[in-house]
Amino acid sequence: MPVLAVLGAGRMGRALGLAALRCGWRVVATRGRCDRLEELERLGFEATCSNREAASKADVVIIAVKPWLVERVAGEISGVVKGKPVVSIAAGVSLEKLRSLLPDAEVYRAMPNLGALYGLSATAVAGSGPSKKLVEELLACAGEVFWIDEALMPAWTGLAGSGPGILAGLADAYMEACIASGLAREACSRLVALVFEATGRLLRDKRPAELRDDVATPGGTTIEGLVELERRGGRAALIDALLAAVRKAGRLG
């Protein structure tokens, strides 16, 4: 049974750890606070507050801490990751930086999203080495894996990493419209979730414009709503929001 160490099991780290458990991996996870390790144990992880201990047991290490903590974590594990694949999911931390911090490790940079909780993450990875296949197999437990040039990582971070949060903002607006229309809050919550889920599935087989045209019959309710969305600058606002996230990711590195 392969062993994964998740260093910094916050939301994203836990999601990747749970995905690995589903694939039969053993997972050792860390938290900065030793008094909160029981939460990790209840999820099925082996828990410790020692990053060095966790990394020493692992076949693959995921660094899932905030970007400003990567250097400290790398210093803690540098002596026990020689030849091991180490995957950082910290936004803005380059492969060059990772190699300088962990010169004896095989480093990769990845950007998953919270879809990993359901095996639906769109995860980008940059890097190369003898363990590339093992890294891909691990990340595939969380969803689809895309190997990209590192120069494109800011775009992926803004679009895929931030995507669920931005779409959740749209879903919240959808909820308000639903409630304002007179439907019960509980019904609206389920309705919004089902509409977004169904749309995601439909988009696996159709381009967005094709699906839009399938639904927007001439003179109907959908085209009326789309015209109003365009009149209000809704499409442009969404494009601007996503590109703002991409630019922010670019500034991080």
Domains of the chain: 3-149 (3.40.50.720), 163-252 (1.10.3730.10)
**pLDDT tens per residue across span 83-129:** 999 999 999 999 999 999 999 999 999 999 999 999 999 999 999 99
133: helix, coil or strand?
Answer: helix
Outline where 26-123 has alpha helix (H). 37-42, 51-57, 70-77, 95-101
**pLDDT tens per residue across span 122-162:** 999 999 999 999 999 999 999 999 999 999 999 999 999 99
Residues 142 and 179: their CA atoms lie apart, in Å, by 34
Q: Are 9 and 17 in contact (CB under 8 A)?
A: yes
HSE-CB for 203 with a 13 A CA cutoff: 9
State the Rg of the chain over Cα: 21
**Cβ atoms within 10 Å, residue 52:** 18
With 0.85 as the threshold, say if the pTM is over it.
yes
Q: Which residues pair with 111 in a beta bridge?
A: 124
**pLDDT tens per residue across span 189-219:** 999 999 999 999 999 999 999 999 999 999 9
Query: Exposed, middle or buried: residue 173 (CB in 10 Å: 0-12, 13-18, 19+)?
Result: exposed
